[in-house]
């Protein structure tokens, strides 16, 4: 069914917390994917720095630049005019100072047309979040497994397993909530911890491997469609398995070219008789 409703606003998102209506965020990086999400019922698109690993084939998200996020967010914005677009703030585009964070967030909004930004970090990032929010830019927080600092966290693994870690996550969530985020991503944390955070904060919680007691969920389009199969995290459910079908399409095309089946008469522009008469061939 075509997605014909108008783009949801931030205040309307906040109401979802009270009504209990769950939100859906899908991560995409390009115009064709964005067009499809825009025609779906999903309310949000994240242009994530995960593009470094999924789209560029890098080993980490950290090499992704602010200019690259803006480039991809522009394409997504053009493809999804009726969906709320979130621009991810890449590594070292906001960690230096609150001023740097505000400048980077402003560039994403101004140059790409995104509706809001997302940044990683808890209590220590709250001053930067507050500065950005006060400038009129909506912010989504991100705690738990934060890929930009995965090395410091011991790799891509579940966070908040100990009481001390869980308490820190709850404190981080409260700090972000007080700083003014309208939503926060909870990535790879135990379901019980996510439940406490969801019940503690006024912001919408969006789970990425955070159990069922959250206000919404985010998955990458490439995971949903079974296109990125190099590594499938535990929290991912592949709703389609398109990689084998695409591979079969590429293979069939190659074989048809080699055998001369492609192009057929249906794919050929007819005409040119006058020039062929002038240059006859044997």
**Which residues participate in catalysis according to the annotation?**
187
Backbone angles phi, psi at 237, to 5 degrees: -115, 125
What is the Cα 266 distance to its own chain's centre? 39
Q: Tokens standing for 215? A: 């206000």
Task: Identify the CA nearest to 26 among candidates 199, 188, 236.
Answer: 236
Backbone angles phi, psi at 45, to 5 degrees: -125, 130
For residues 42 and 85, is the Cβ–Cβ distance under 8 A?
Answer: no
Show Cβ contacts of residue 210 under 8 Å, excluding neighbours closer than 6 positions. 144, 186, 187, 188, 189, 191, 194, 235
- Whole-angstrom Cα distance, residue 158 to residue 19? 30
Backbone angles phi, psi at 102, to 5 degrees: -65, -40
Helix (H, G, I), strand (E, B) or coil at 44: strand
Backbone angles phi, psi at 25, to 5 degrees: -125, 130
Helix (H, G, I), strand (E, B) or coil at 182: coil
Q: Enter the DSSP assignment of 141.
A: E
What is the Cα 254 distance to its own chain's centre? 33
């Amino acid at each position: 069914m075509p997605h014909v409703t108008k783009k949801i606003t931030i205040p309307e998102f906040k109401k979802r917390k009270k009504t209990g209506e769950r939100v859906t965020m899908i991560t995409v990086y390009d115009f064709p994917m964005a067009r499809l999400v825009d025609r779906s019922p999903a309310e949000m698109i994240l242009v994530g720095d995960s593009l470094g690993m999924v789209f560029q084939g890098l080993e980490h998200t950290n090499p992704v630049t602010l200019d690259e996020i803006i480039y991809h967010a522009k394409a997504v914005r053009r493809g999804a005019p009726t969906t709320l677009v979130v621009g991810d703030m890449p590594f070292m585009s906001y960690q230096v100072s609150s001023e740097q964070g505000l400048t980077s967030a402003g560039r994403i909004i101004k140059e790409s047309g995104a509706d809001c930004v997302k940044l990683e970090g808890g209590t220590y990032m709250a001053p930067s979040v507050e500065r950005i929010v006060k400038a009129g830019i909506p912010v989504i927080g991100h705690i738990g497994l934060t890929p930009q600092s995965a090395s410091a966290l011991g790799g891509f693994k579940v966070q908040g397993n100990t009481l001390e870690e869980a308490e820190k996550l709850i404190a981080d969530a409260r700090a972000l909530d007080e700083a003014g985020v309208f939503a926060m991503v909870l990535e790879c944390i135990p379901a019980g911890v996510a439940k406490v955070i969801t019940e503690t904060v006024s912001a919408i919680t969006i789970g990425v491997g955070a159990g069922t007691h959250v206000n919404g969920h985010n998955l990458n389009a490439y995971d949903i469609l079974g296109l990125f199969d190099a590594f499938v995290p535990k929290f991912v459910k592949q709703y389609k398995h398109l990689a084998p079908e695409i591979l079969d399409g590429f293979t069939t095309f190659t074989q048809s070219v080699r055998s001369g089946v492609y192009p057929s008469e249906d794919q050929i522009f007819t005409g040119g008789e006058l020039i062929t008469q002038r240059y006859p061939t044997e």
